[in-house]
Structure 1
Amino acid sequence: MEIKKDILWRAYLCFIGMGVFAVAILGKVFFIQQVEGDKWRSLADSLHTSFMDLDADRGTIYSEEGRMLSTSIPYFDLRIDFKADGLQDPKKSIFKDNIDSLSYYLANLFRDRTAAQYKKMLSEGFKDKDRYFLLKRDIRFDEYQAVRNFPMFRLGRNKGGLIAETKNKRINPFKLLANRTIGLARENAQNVGLERTYDSSLSGVTGKRLMRRIAGGTYMPVEGYDIEPENGKDIITTLDVNMQDIAENALMKMMIQNEAQHGTCILMEVKTGKIKAIANLGRQKDGSYWEDMNYALMVGEPGSTFKVATMIAIMEDGYANTNTLVDLNYGRWPINRRVVYDSEPHHLTTVTVKRAFERSSNVAMAKLAYQFYYKKPNEFAAHLKKLRLDQFTGIDLVGEGRPNIPTTASKHWSAVTLPWMAFGYNVLQSPLQTAMLYNAVANNGKMMKPYLVNSIMEYGQPIRQFEPVVLNDSICSARTLAQLRDMLEGVVLNGTAVKLQTPYYRFAGKTGTALVANGNRGYADKIYQSSFAGYFPAEDPQYTCVVVIKNKPHAAKFYGGTVAGPVFREVADKLYALAIQKPRSLEGNTSLDTLMAMKGGKGSEWRSVARTLKLPFEGALTASNWVNADIKNNKLTFSPVKTAPGVVPDVKGMGLKDALYLLENAGLRVVIKGAGKVNTQSIQGGSPVGKEQTIVIELG
């Protein structure tokens, strides 16, 4: 019996001991989770670090004259580290002493909360010891500058706890102008336009930042562990803001007036192939117009502007010339159970080819093509292919539509394909291809590749430049070319564009009016595409301009000469006044509105800049020397400027203030031309200084 009691006593004792031990474990678990939970979770989170991408500053896109077309501006997210050393120091009361005034300033700046609401919000963050408290998103740079000087924040990050995260937003300062061609840099969608084509140059090289995970699953940066990004390069386009504005406004005026569906206006420099303006407008649901698509690159049946290609083929083969006679059949010609109609009614019969072209006769073009090529249609197609009408233009934009010149091997070839091709149907061409062809006619037969970018710049210096490219030295013989230009001038003097002529200058071109199919409804809705392609001035062409407008169904006004022609005329009038009567350099201005352009100056000032911004540099920088600055291998590189007494200093590359200081101290009188940094000086650096000598410096 005693043995049994002894065993039970021991068993009870073990059971009680195990129970006490279990209660102790549960108590400890509760204490760790509920009392010390935040501490251990924060400590656990602090052990998790990872590198996150730091986006480089995207390069800027400029017009040819140096105006910003697309650029990035900084925006900031503001956060507060309420566990910053200064805010948690028990010997100080920084938060308590500054909360009222800080709340007042924040409320006064942002005006989205009252001072009392800001105080409550900040107090809650301080109470929770939030290490990454979100104060404000997407504030501007000027607002950030103001916030940095607010009470508490002016003490710095370690004492005031302010954390600023920079991010860039892409903006187009001119908004509508060439918006689709310049493109958009979008975060969650594919870029378009030049932003897409030159994305690798504009985007730069991504950097890295070490981030530590803190309570709540958020991350905050670890100081001193950044791999700085390499900023993107700048793009200098061929676009001219003034010309783009003229083209955009002229097109917009007609689009609104005719309630058109969409339209494009292309302006091309004859000698080079540079695209100086490219306007694209589409009608939105609310009736307004916007640059929604690049209609200049979209293919369709061009209509009568294609007749230039037909005439090149016929005249090159020697089948006809401008004096050859053709019967217009009063504007109606039955062929293979179809009927060819002239778009504008008339009562003409036998006329010359030139007169038929001036009247834009479909019957004449169809008859000529059928008469000479019906047994060998592929020979006609070969002429068109020689004109590169079956190839992409090669412009530096993604999304160019695929052109099509059918042959007898084509799936949809029929007995009427050839005659309809002659006046611009059954072929697919983009307005840009039409511009390239007409530009070749204006350029004495030399076909130029259209392009949009002059150069790629880094720190204000070109690292890649684009030159004009000749695609075809001669699209036809000189004899054919002379006849073509005569006919194109005749269209304006005596033909379908006679109402567009002006007494101040001559221009040449061709109208086009094409009936457009509307999906399954076919041609029942009577939707017409109006076009005009030409160049000016006729005697010495400087610019080629193509206008294509797709009208609304059953539009009262739809002929090319009355819809597209006036847009061409307005563009030509204004450019003739601005650019041709007052010639100016068409070279791009490399003095851009950018902080990346380097200027020479005093060594001590450059040393201060480099050290403050923590920029790597090489070269001697002292209080007494003057230097020229450059960028090499991602480093600032400085070379000394010789400033010996009695010798003219070399001030090329310096800003005006520094150049004046050196030149006047050398005893020279200075005449200044231009603005920016010094490009040239009339007296070479190192020359002896003469008595009362004058030096001219040109800035740019």
Structure 2
Amino acid sequence: MEVKKDILWRVYLCFIGMGLFAVAILVKVFFVQNVQGNYWRSMADSLHTRYVSLDADRGTIYSEEGRMLSTSIPYFDVRVDFAADNLREKNGKVFRDNVDSLSIYLSRLFNDHTPEEYKQILREGFKSKDRYFLLKRDIQFNQFQQLRNFPMFRLGKNKGGLIAETKNKRINPFKLLANRTIGLSRENAQNVGLERTYDDFLRGVTGKRLMRRIAGGTYIPVEGYDIEPENGRDVITTMDVNMQDIVETALMNMMVSNEAEHGSCILMEVKTGKIKAIANLGRQPDGSYFEDMNYALQVAEPGSTFKLATIISVLDDKYATMDDMVNLHEGEWQIGKRTVFDSEPHPGQTNVTIKHAFELSSNVGMAKLAYQYYYKKPNDFVAHLKKLKLDQPTGIDLVGEGKPVIKSTASKTWSATSLPWMAFGYEVLVSPLQTCMLYNAVANNGKMMKPYLVNSIVEYGKPVKEFEPTVVMDSICSRSTLKQVKQMLEGVVMNGTAKGLWTRYYKFAAKTGTALVANGNRGYADKIYQSSFAGYFPANDPQFTCVVVIKNKAHAAKFYGAAVAGPVFREVADKLFAIAVEKQLPIKAGLQMDTLMAFKNGQGHEWKEILNTLNIPMQGSVNNNSWVSAKVDDKKIAFAQVAQNKGAVPNVTGMGLKDALYLLENAGLRVVIKGAGKVKNQSIPGGTQLSRDQTIVIELS
């Protein structure tokens, strides 16, 4: 019996112990959930981390003379960590002492809320203990510079709670100028123009940042775990801002006055193939014009500017010379069931020289030449067109160039009249840029150059990839043919369809073009004409080739190439002759390094301050009191000491004017300054023994 009681007592004791343990567990669960819940939930959240991408600064696109065409500017999202220890200490003393003045400053800076409203916003954020409280989105750099010095925020991130997230926005400082060619860099759509072609260089290498999740599902950065991005490289184009402005303005004036649908104007440097300017304007629904498409790359029936290819073929095959005769039939000639018409009738014009037929832009004359010499072997004519590269894209460094169409007898749409119609620019499709490349070859004594838009890729001001002019073909035709073709192009201006554009100040050579364009299902009923003008100047020493193509509105009162596209060419040629040719200014502009990263020799402590402020990586050590030179080495700034010996003339080559004067005048030298920039030469070499009353001349560039 005693044994049974002893067993029961032990069992009861176990049950009581288990009950008390269960109660303790329930009490602890209640305490953890309701008293310590926020703490443990935040601790659990803090164990959740993830990496986010850090976008590299996108490179800048420059003109040839060093002016920004497309660049990124920083914008900031401003947040506040209201759980920062310093803000919560002493019952929020720092916050309470600064909230009034901070509200006033914020109201003055942004002018979107009153000080009282800002004070209320800040108090709500502080009360919520939000560690990632959004204060303002998309503020500009100059606004952020002011904001970081406001009360409380000037204490920094850990003490003042200020968190700034940087993001870049792409802008084109010159707005409309060459907008489509320079291109657009878009977050949620495909880039266009040079921004797309050179995206691999411009975008750089993305970095990473470790983020930790805090209460409320918000992520904040974890200090010390960033993988810094590598900034993109810069692109130096062949384009000239002043020339682009001239081209764009001339095209715009004509487009507006003639209410044209769209147009393009290309300016190419003859000797190199560099595109110095390219304008593309399309009419918008509201009647304004914008660079909406790169029309210079789109293929269409070129019209009479294509006659240059026909003449080159006939003359180069030795079938005729420019002095041989052709019958124009007064501007109307029937072949089969179709009739070839000249754009204007030529009463009394029957037998004329081939040269004069070209000057008059006679469709009949060109059609008869092609038919007479190639009707039995039309593919010989096609072979000439292919030799002139008219069946291939130019290969310019832009995505989206149209594919040209040059028919042959194997084509499904070839007919008995295809050959004569091709001779005056119909039943073929080529782009204005292809036309420009052909005319440029004539200007360049037969040497065909590939058009291109970029000179070099630059990193920290140092070229890492350079592009040179590319010869597509050493000679497009014989010397005899070339001589005759040049005379014929000059004759168009002196005696032909472009004689109304003649000027006594300089000679230019060109060809007009007027093509009737089909309008969808309506065919040619709407009388829509494409006006074109292609040529080079000055004719005696060609520097530039210019092609203008404008598609007019339906039933336009003015539509001939000489009346619509010709004046654009003439305006461009007049202005460029005045500023770049007549004054013998160098065609190749020197790069003005003031808008790029340029290095000057200077004191070590100044260099260290600059690099720390701009967060630019460096290698090696720099003595604060030494004079140093800098260069880029393996994507970092490297320094070399510049010795300055006591009692000797200081070595100031490579320095800015301020530092050079400091050293030279302290050495007792009289200084004569020539030029501007950094010191290029000094008349007394550095290290030379000093003597009394010496004068030194320093040349800056």
Q: TM bucket by the smaller chain?
A: over 0.9
Change (3 A) 1:288 1:624: same
Aligned-residue Cα RMSD (Å) equals 2.5
Whether 2:511 is the aligned partner of 1:510: answer yes
- Give the secondary structure class of the aligned counterpart of 1:56: coil
Shift in Å, 1:44:
1.7
In structure 2, distance between residues paired with 1:51 and 1:63: 37
The one-letter amino acid paired with 1:673 is: K
Alignment of 1:282-321 (within 5 A): 282-321=282-321
Change (3 A) 1:620 1:19: closer
Alignment of 1:48-67 (within 5 A): 48-67=48-67
Shift in Å, 1:498:
0.8
Is contact 2:66-2:596 (8 Å) kept?
no
Alignment of 1:254-269 (within 5 A): 254-269=254-269
Is contact 2:579-2:585 (8 Å) kept?
no
In structure 1, distance between residues paired with 2:613 and 2:363: 73
Q: Deviations over 1:285-335 (max 9, x none)?
A: 111000111111111111100000000000000111111111111211111
Seq. identity, %: 72
Aligned length: 694
The one-letter amino acid paired with 2:75 is: Y
Shift in Å, 1:133:
0.3
After TM superposition, the structure 1 stretch with the greater mean CA deviation from structure 2, 599-608 or 278-287, is: 599-608
In structure 2, distance between residues paired with 1:26 and 1:421: 95
Whether 2:500 is the aligned partner of 1:499: answer yes
Alignment of 1:404-423 (within 5 A): 404-423=405-424
After TM superposition, the structure 1 stretch with the greater mean CA deviation from structure 2, 16-25 or 367-376, is: 16-25
Q: Deviations over 1:450-504 (max 9, x none)?
A: 1111111111122222111111111111111111111111111111111111111
Change (3 A) 1:408 1:21: farther
Paired position in structure 1 for 2:200: 200
Q: Deviations over 1:389-437 (max 9, x none)?
A: 1111111111111112111111211111111110011111110110110
- Give the secondary structure class of the aligned counterpart of 2:226: strand
Shift in Å, 1:615:
4.8
- TM-score scaled to structure 1, two decimals? 0.94
Whether 2:225 is the aligned partner of 1:187: answer no
Whether 2:147 is the aligned partner of 1:174: answer no
Whether 2:467 is the aligned partner of 1:466: answer yes
Change (3 A) 1:484 1:127: same
The one-letter amino acid paired with 1:328 is: L
Paired position in structure 1 for 2:534: 533
Q: Which runs of 5+ in 1 are unaligned?
A: 1-10
Change (3 A) 1:18 1:468: same
Paired position in structure 1 for 2:547: 546
Shift in Å, 1:686:
4.0
- Give the secondary structure class of the aligned counterpart of 2:405: coil
Whether 2:88 is the aligned partner of 1:98: answer no
Shift in Å, 1:643:
1.6
Is contact 2:332-2:345 (8 Å) kept?
no
Alignment of 1:41-120 (within 5 A): 41-90=41-90, 93-120=93-120
Q: Deviations over 1:586-608 (max 9, x none)?
A: 33433334463222101232234
Is contact 1:51-1:211 (8 Å) kept?
yes
Change (3 A) 1:13 1:252: farther
Change (3 A) 1:628 1:191: same
In structure 2, distance between residues paired with 1:668 and 1:586: 39
- TM-score scaled to structure 2, two decimals? 0.94
Alignment of 1:285-684 (within 5 A): 285-347=285-347, 348-594=349-595, 596-610=597-611, 615-684=616-685
Is contact 2:66-2:595 (8 Å) kept?
no
Paired position in structure 1 for 2:154: 154
Change (3 A) 1:28 1:540: same
Change (3 A) 1:673 1:409: farther
- Give the secondary structure class of the aligned counterpart of 1:247: helix
Paired position in structure 1 for 2:8: none
Shift in Å, 1:28:
6.3
- Give the secondary structure class of the aligned counterpart of 1:541: coil
The one-letter amino acid paired with 1:375 is: K
- Give the secondary structure class of the aligned counterpart of 1:505: coil
Shift in Å, 1:618:
3.7
- Give the secondary structure class of the aligned counterpart of 2:428: coil
In structure 2, distance between residues paired with 1:367 and 1:219: 77
Alignment of 1:133-144 (within 5 A): 133-144=133-144
Change (3 A) 1:427 1:119: same
Is contact 1:68-1:593 (8 Å) kept?
no
In structure 1, distance between residues paired with 2:690 and 2:446: 55
Q: Which runs of 5+ in 2 are unaligned?
A: 1-10
Change (3 A) 1:16 1:291: farther
Paired position in structure 2 for 1:5: none
The one-letter amino acid paired with 1:154 is: R
Change (3 A) 1:105 1:481: same
Is contact 1:454-1:588 (8 Å) kept?
no
The one-letter amino acid paired with 2:103 is: S
In structure 2, distance between residues paired with 1:168 and 1:602: 32
In structure 1, distance between residues paired with 2:173 and 2:20: 74
Shift in Å, 1:103:
1.2
In structure 1, distance between residues paired with 2:574 and 2:56: 44
Change (3 A) 1:335 1:54: same
In structure 2, distance between residues paired with 1:239 and 1:636: 29
Shift in Å, 1:667:
4.1
Q: Deviations over 1:254-290 (max 9, x none)?
A: 0000100100000011111111100110001111000
After TM superposition, the structure 1 stretch with the greater mean CA deviation from structure 2, 175-184 or 657-666, is: 657-666
After TM superposition, the structure 1 stretch with the greater mean CA deviation from structure 2, 647-656 or 238-247, is: 647-656
